[in-house]
């Protein structure tokens, strides 16, 4: 690295705000859509695994194995089918979220107290209605805890997608390395961290709004 | 109303939870299922709303085999209350209560209006409607559980140890409230408990189960105490069943005598003349003030000057049972129970021996009556006998 090059050139940031904003938007999309898709897959899959317990171990094994495959390898596999597109980044990221989300959906459903489940059945809820109206709402805190982990790790993993040219803010990291210019690298890292923090804060807020009942654990006579 | 016909439940692991049960539960009464842990009470209860399917036999409700009815639909017509209320933590108290009406497709407003009525019926303040279950005490949660079970006005109510998870004081409160509610609502109630005292207090009829899911005896509480079918039942109802039986004898039927009763204005000399160790001092309305020990009275003056020993307690001829009367005798310094009328005025006194003799006479008369009726009548009408006298323990056994 060039010795008289400062760590941060504020002028560069000022010159690139619009472009940085664009890449931030792309980064968010690449990071968060997989979490949404992951959730759409995990909720029904988790319900099935909760209902038929024998299904859970194989599902868990498969999703854990996928998680252990390096992202680079997954990108290379999917490039053959989806080319150098955003999908090629999002599909592996979606698969990664499953190893966090499926167990959290299953644990969330398991957190429903047995008397509550029994009472729901005894009141005359059918099986499907019981899951939707009673069990899933009660599972929300545990599921959101999983979503927070999945979202933060997904946002940070997006940058790796730059290896196939779809890395959101990861673009600035490769550029900075190529040009031996630290400002874009640091800017991208800070922005990625801020995105992760903001997403996490929003999810905490969402949980508070969705589960007013889980607060105020006071017992008054 | 609810009829079990040779019903058995065997679990795949080989457990026989219920064994060849035949039982008919009368409409509008409380039937208590009681027995040691694991004897099949919960299983029996859950076979009524199809949460457990029998392996043999049929259960019918109002003459209809319950297997003909779709299970969730059947359950919406049967209230269910469990030990740890099982309230939905994510719904407010009001929405918890409105659960079944909402399932039945009522509109939200109507369901909530009805739920608010129920909240009042079970004795909870209206401002609790908006709370979540975790903001209620155990006793309050249990009340909400009862309100939820009653909201769609089902004719049948199943209760599985509903009061056993709360402390004894709250339990007694809930039981009293429950008796009051039932007098108003006349539901057909099946109530599970392992507590024989609770069974006797609440039941119009009691089914005692033994381990292995066998019905040991099905009878009214009085008959269960007076004539246990075998050693198991005798053992289960406990050593003090003689005392418990007193709960079923109305205090009004006991013989009382006038006894040494004097107004506070009476001179001490008059108390001495009564030739009794204790005299009962009363006010101008004949309401008892306390006992005066004659030996300790100062000479001269009136009884108003004497220091009185407290009564212990009196018993009321309207509402109390012989059990309260006997207790009153045992606690009295003079060993005399004081019977009062509705206004609290002294009617008479009796000692423990007199009360015991009177009780035996009443029980003998009632026993003859019950056995002649039992011979000529079906189990339905026997249940009715149980019902009239079951008012006594609720009112008198405090
Ligand atoms: N799903 C099941 N599989 C196997 N055995 C069971 C099952 N449910 C209950 N049992 C057995 O059936 C018997 C009766 O159980 P049940 O729950 O009806 O008893 P209970 O009288 O309600 O007992 P408690 O007073 O402890 O609640 C017990 O021996 C129990 O272990
Ligand atoms: Mg039980």
Report CA torsion sign: B393, B394, B396, B398.
positive
Identify the CA nearest to B357 among candidates B251, B254, B250.
Answer: B254
Band of pLDDT at residue B66, cut at 50, 70 and 90: very high
Question: Is the predicted pLDDT of residue B19 greater than 60, yes or no?
Answer: yes
Q: Residue A84 and residue B160: Cα distance in Å, rounded?
A: 62
Mean pLDDT of chain B: 88
pLDDT at A219: 41
Nearest-CA residue for ligand 1 atom 11 is B17
Rounded distance between C-alpha atoms, residue B170 and residue B191, angstroms: 18
Output the CATH code of domain B252-354. Answer: 3.10.580.10
Model-wide pTM > 0.90: no
CB contact at 8 A, B140 and B160? no
Judge if the beta carbon of residue B39 lies within 6 A of ligand 1: yes
**Best A124, A140, A143 residue to mutate vs chain B (most B CBs within 10 Å):** A124
For residue B215, the 8-state DSSP code is E
- Least confident among B290-294, B324-328, B373-377: B373-377
Ligand 1 center to residue B211 CA distance, Å? Answer: 10
Average pLDDT over residues B354-359: 87
| Fold held by B2-238 | Rossmann fold (3.40.50)
DSSP 8-state assignment for residue B193: E
**pLDDT band for position B249 (50/70/90)?**
confident
Question: Token match 């209230």: residue?
Answer: B79
> Given the DSSP bridges, would you call strands B288-293 and B315-316 parallel, antiparallel or unpaired?
unpaired
**Would you say the CB of residue B17 lies under 6 angstroms from ligand 1?**
yes
Rg of chain B in Å (alpha carbons): 25
State mean pLDDT over B40-59. 96
Model pLDDT, residue B394: 38
Please report where in the chains the tokens 């991208």 appear, as a residue.
A188
Q: Tally C-beta pairs within 8 A across A and B.
A: 83
Q: Which ligand is nearest to the CA of B52?
A: 1
Q: What ipTM does this complex have? A: 0.86
Categorize the per-residue pLDDT at B378 as very low, low, confident or very high, splitting at 50, 70 and 90. Answer: very low
d(CA A209, nearest CA chain B) in Å? 12
Q: Count CB neighbours of B114 within 10 A.
A: 19
The CA-to-CA distance between both ends of chain A, in Å, stands at 69
CB contact under 8 A, A221 and B137: yes
Q: Do A116 and B136 touch (CB under 8 A)?
A: no
Residues A212, B89: C-beta atoms closer than 8 Å: no
Structure tokens at B163: 């009061």
- Search chain A and give the residue with CA nearest B158: A122
DSSP, collapsed to helix, strand or coil, labels residue B70 as: coil
Distance CA B63, CA B228 (A): 30
Whole-number Å distance between alpha carbons of B127 and B94: 10
Task: Give the position of tokens 């999703």.
Answer: A63
For chain B, give every domain's residue range. 2-238, 252-354, 357-388
CA A8 to chain centre: 30
Instruction: With beta carbons under 8 A apart, name residues in chain A contacting B82.
Output: 115, 118-119, 122
Ligand 1: centre distance to CA A122 (Å): 17
Q: Closest CB to A123: pick one of B80, B137, B140.
A: B80
Q: Is the pLDDT of residue B180 over 60?
A: yes
Residue A2 is predicted with a pLDDT of: 59
Residue B162 Cα, ligand 1 centroid: separation in angstroms?
17
**Ion ligand 2, residues whose Cβ is below 5 A away:** B 42
CB-based contact B83 A216, cutoff 8 Å: no
Query: Could you write out the DSSP letters of every residue in B239-307?
Result: TTHHHHHGGGSBGGGS--B--SEEETTSBHHHHHHTT-SEEEEE-TT--EEEEEEGGGPPSSSBGGGSP
Do the Cβ atoms of A116 and B86 come within 8 Å? yes
Instruction: Delimit the domains of chain A by residue range.
Output: 10-212
What pLDDT, on a 0 to 100 scale, did the predictor assign at position A216?
59
Position of tokens 């009548």?
Answer: B377
Ligand 1 atom nearest residue B35's Cα: 21
CA distances B215 to A9, B9, B36, B43, B238, Å, are: 88, 13, 12, 13, 18
Do the Cβ atoms of A26 and A162 come closer than 8 Å?
A: no
CB B303 within 8 A of CB B262: yes
**Could you give the CA distance from residue A161 to residue B379 in angstroms, rounded to a whole number?**
79
> For chain A, which residues score pLDDT lower than 50?
218-221
Nearest chain B Cα distance for residue A163, angstroms: 45
pLDDT at position B367 is 67
Q: Which two tokens stand for residue B389?
A: 């006298």
B170-174 contacts at long range (C-beta below 8 A, 24 or more positions apart): B170/B138, B170/B139, B171/B198, B173/B139, B174/B139, B174/B142, B174/B143
Nearest residue to B19 via CA among B30, B35, B2: B35
* DSSP state letter for B92: -
Q: What is the mean pLDDT of residues B99-109?
A: 96
Mean pLDDT over B240-256 rounds to 85
Tokens found for residue A1: 């690295």
Q: What is the arithmetic mean of pLDDT over B211-228?
A: 92
Question: Is A8 within 8 Å of chain B by CB?
Answer: no
Check CB contact of A1 with chain B, cutoff 8 Å: no
For residue A1, the model assigns a pLDDT of 53
Task: Report the residue count for chain B.
Answer: 398
Angle between helix axes B168-185 and B138-150 (nearest 10 degrees) is 20
Q: Judge: B88–A118 Cβ closer than 8 Å, yes or no.
A: no
Instruction: Pick the closest to residue A89 from A32, A49, A147 (CA basis).
Output: A32
Beta-carbon separation of A113 and B86 below 8 A: yes
What CATH number does the domain located at A10-212 have? 1.10.3720.10
**Ligand in nearest proximity to the CA of B194:** 1
pLDDT of residue B386: 38
β-pair partners for B8? B56
* Minimum CA–CA partner of B145 in chain A: A119
Q: With CA atoms as reference, report the closest residue to B48 among B97, B100, B98, B7.
A: B7
A195 is written with which tokens?
A: 């995105």
End-to-end CA separation in angstroms for chain B: 32
| Residue A197 three-state SS | helix
CA–CA separation, A171 vs A174, rounded Å? 6
Closest among B162, B165, B164, B208 to B182, alpha carbons compared: B162
- Whether the pLDDT of residue B286 is over 80: the answer is yes
Please state, in angstroms and rounded to a whole number, the distance separating the CA atoms of residues A118 and B121. 24
Residue B97 confidence class, pLDDT cut points 50, 70, 90: very high
Chain B residue whose CA is closest to A210: B90
Residue B370 has pLDDT above 60, yes or no: no
Q: State the CB neighbour count (10 A cutoff) for residue A65.
A: 10
pLDDT value of position B127: 93
Q: Left if phi > 0, otherwise alpha if psi is -120 to 50, otherwise beta: which for B321?
A: beta
């Amino acid at each position: 690295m060039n010795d008289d090059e400062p760590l941060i050139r504020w002028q560069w940031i000022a010159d690139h705000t619009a472009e940085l904003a664009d890449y931030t938007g792309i980064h968010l999309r690449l990071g968060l859509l997989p979490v949404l898709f992951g959730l759409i897959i995990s909720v029904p899959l988790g319900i099935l695994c909760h209902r038929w317990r024998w299904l859970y171990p194989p599902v868990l094994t498969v999703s854990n194995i996928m998680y252990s495959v390096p992202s680079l390898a997954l990108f290379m596999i999917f490039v053959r089918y989806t080319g150098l597109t955003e999908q090629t980044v999002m599909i592996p990221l979606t698969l990664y979220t499953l190893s966090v989300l499926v167990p959290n959906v299953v644990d969330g459903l398991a957190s429903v107290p047995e008397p509550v489940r029994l009472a729901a059945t005894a009141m005359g809820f059918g099986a499907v209605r019981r899951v939707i109206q009673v069990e899933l709402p009660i599972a929300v805190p545990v599921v959101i805890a999983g979503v927070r982990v999945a979202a933060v790790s997904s946002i940070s993993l997006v940058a790796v997608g730059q290896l196939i040219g779809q890395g959101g803010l990861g673009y600035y990291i490769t550029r900075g390395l190529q040009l031996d210019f630290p400002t874009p690298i640091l800017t991208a890292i800070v922005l990625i961290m801020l995105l992760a923090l903001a997403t996490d804060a929003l999810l905490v807020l969402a949980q508070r709004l969705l589960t007013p009942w889980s607060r105020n654990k006071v017992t008054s006579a | 109303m609810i009829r079990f016909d040779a019903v058995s439940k065997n679990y795949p692991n080989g457990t026989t939870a219920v064994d060849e049960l035949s039982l008919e539960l009368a409409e509008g009464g409380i039937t208590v299922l009681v027995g040691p842990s694991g004897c099949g009470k919960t299983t029996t209860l859950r076979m009524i709303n199809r949460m457990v399917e029998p392996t043999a036999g049929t259960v019918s409700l109002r003459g209809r085999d319950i297997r003909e009815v779709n299970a969730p639909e059947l359950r919406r017509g049967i209230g269910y209350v469990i030990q740890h209320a099982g309230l939905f933590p994510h719904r407010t108290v009001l929405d918890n209560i409105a659960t079944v009406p909402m399932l039945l497709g009522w509109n939200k407003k109507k369901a909530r209006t009805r739920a608010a009525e129920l909240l009042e019926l079970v004795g909870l303040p209206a401002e609790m409607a908006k709370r979540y279950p975790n903001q209620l005490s155990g006793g309050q949660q249990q009340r909400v559980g009862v309100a939820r079970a009653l909201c769609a006005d089902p004719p049948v109510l199943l209760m599985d140890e509903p009061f056993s998870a709360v402390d004894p004081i709250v339990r007694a409160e809930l039981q009293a409230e429950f008796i009051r509610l039932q007098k108003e609502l006349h539901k057909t109630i099946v109530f599970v408990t392992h507590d024989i005292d609770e069974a006797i207090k609440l039941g119009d009829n009691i089914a005692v189960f033994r381990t292995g899911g066998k019905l040991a005896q099905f009878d009214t509480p009085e008959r269960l105490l007076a004539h246990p079918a075998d050693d198991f039942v005798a053992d289960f109802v406990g050593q003090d069943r003689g005392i418990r039986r007193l709960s079923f004898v109305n205090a009004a039927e006991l013989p009382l005598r006038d006894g040494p009763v004097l107004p506070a204005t009476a001179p001490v000399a008059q108390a001495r003349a009564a030739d009794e160790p204790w005299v009962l001092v009363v006010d101008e309305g004949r309401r008892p003030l306390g006992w005066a020990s004659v030996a300790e009275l100062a000479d001269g003056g009136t009884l108003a000057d004497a220091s009185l020993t407290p009564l212990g307690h009196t018993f009321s001829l309207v509402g109390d049972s012989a059990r309260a009367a006997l207790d009153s005798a045992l606690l009295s310094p003079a060993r005399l129970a004081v019977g009062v009328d509705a206004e609290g005025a002294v009617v008479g006194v009796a000692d423990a021996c007199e009360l015991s003799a009177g009780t035996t006479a009443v029980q003998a008369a009632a026993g003859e009556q019950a056995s002649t009726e039992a011979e000529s009548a079906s189990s339905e009408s026997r249940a009715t006998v149980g019902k009239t006298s079951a008012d006594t323990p609720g009112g008198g056994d405090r």
